[in-house]
Structure 1
Amino acid sequence: MESLFDPSYPKAFAAFSTEHWIAIVILIALAALLYLFRSVIVSTTALQKTVKWSLLAALSLPEASLHLWYVLTGIWDPATSLPLELCSLTLFLSIAILLTDERRLYPLVYFAGIGGALQAILTPNLDYPFPHFRFFHFFTVHTAIILTALYMTWVRGYRPTWKSIGWTMVFLNVSAVLVGLVNWAVGSNYMFLMRKPETASLLDLLGPHPLYIMVEEFIALVLFILMYVVFFVIPDHIKRSRRHGREEIPGSSAGS
């Protein structure tokens, strides 16, 4: 029987296999539950703390276990094992915002966290299938990144702004420059700045290197704008229109 911690596990991950679909469905179900019970969580301090610490555990424990696994199996390599992927950066930002409630971190967690982790879940750059340890690590931390952003939005009441979209784009570009320097120094490919991943991904549709990086910039900006308009601007407009309509009704009746 193959070890579920074996770095030379003989089987390979298959995108949109049964196990992959189950992971996607679990994400959707957890997000739906968080939304449906958001008011209950907000009004119950003990429940809010339970959700918060559950998210912290789902983010930190698998990630710590991953780096311990790298060391114990002798496969730690600065070219592949440093936490310099975008989702690794947003994972640490997610932990930080849960611990500190720092509002300046929220746009990064909301825009970059959801955008990057959702793409990762839909098109995983993953070599190991279920039930390998890396399978559970991958889907647990990426799901927790998304749920943390939703928790801060629906439960803690944080909101992005137009200005925070620009702040997130600055963060992404500064991170890319710094990670690019590491790539150049150690021969790595963090954030896929040097070449596309070997597994199928959305980058395959965006042209050759380095064109796809510039296209990614444009797509990220458009995605962030849509995430703000669809989930904040439009709902706010609808709420204002309904309030205005209710306020108009008494006056209209009185004047008729």
Structure 2
Amino acid sequence: MNEYKQIALQGLWKNNPGLVQLLGLCPLLAVTATLTNALGLGLATMLVLIGSNVLVSLVKSLVPKEIRIPIFVMIIAALVTCVQLLVNAYAYGLYLSLGIFLPLIVTNCVIIGRAEAFASRNSVVKSAFDGFMMGLGFLLVLSVLGASREILSQGTLFAGADLLLGDWAADLTIHFWQLDTSFLLAMLPPGAFIAMGFLIAFKNIIDKKLADRAPTPDTVEVVTRARVTKVS
């Protein structure tokens, strides 16, 4: 169980693809103008991550080391094609909104990196869990970024949710305030970079506070000696 906790912690916080590894930044910054787009791309990436990790773990012993990267890329490309066709069939509006960034999941370094660094060295169950946690960590960063940019730029949340969930979700839109004109900085790429910088800074502040609270080796040694002396 400790091993699975470490995998979860790595994907969600310590080695988060968006905040720590800084991988997949192009789609992360490009499609997060709204929360709906962020959720759509995040879920698609998570599905590909889980599927690729599972398949790579299954075939790792059959693939020669010399051609493992091309094989991994072919597996990822096949899965991305399947996901793209599913989105095209069942969420065509979202498919149009995501545009080129949906097929470009193939080139996302997060996916090929986990296939090479983890799935090719671990069991199927662990690989699937790692793909889920890395995908969830990437999805959470996308969602926070998309929600903050949508609220600042349009004063809404879940605008266009019907593109992802169907016509019934059109009423899910939350209106915080009415804007005469949109806040362009939050909608454009510079705003995405600024918001991403704030998220990374916030994480670094939390990490620093946690590190300051953690006992140092000298403190642990003093406490240990005190306990030994007390017992004696």
Identify whether the pair has TM-score above 0.5, normalized to the shorter chain: no
Q: Give the alignment's TM-score, normalised by structure 1.
A: 0.33
Name the structure with the higher helix share: 2
Q: Give the alignment's TM-score, normalised by structure 2.
A: 0.36
